[in-house]
Amino acid sequence: MPKDPKPKVSSVASGRKTKSKKDPAAPKRPLSAYMFFSQDWRERIKAENPDAGFGDVGRLLGTKWKEMNDDEKKPYLDMAEKDKARAEAEKAAYANKD
Which pLDDT does position 49 carry in this prediction? 94
List helix spans (H) across the chain. Answer: 33-48, 54-67, 70-97
Query: Using one digit for the tens of pLDDT, what is the confidence trace for 64-98?
Result: 999 999 999 999 999 999 999 999 999 999 999 86
* Eight-state DSSP code of residue 41: H
Pairwise CA distance, residues 42 & 47, whole Å: 9
Model confidence pLDDT, tens digit, residues 19-70:
888 888 889 999 999 999 999 999 999 999 999 999 999 999 999 999 999 9
**3-state SS class at 26:** coil
What mean pLDDT do residues 5-12 have?
59
Which option is the CATH number for 27-97: 1.10.30.10, 3.40.50.12280, 3.30.70.1230, 3.90.550.10? 1.10.30.10
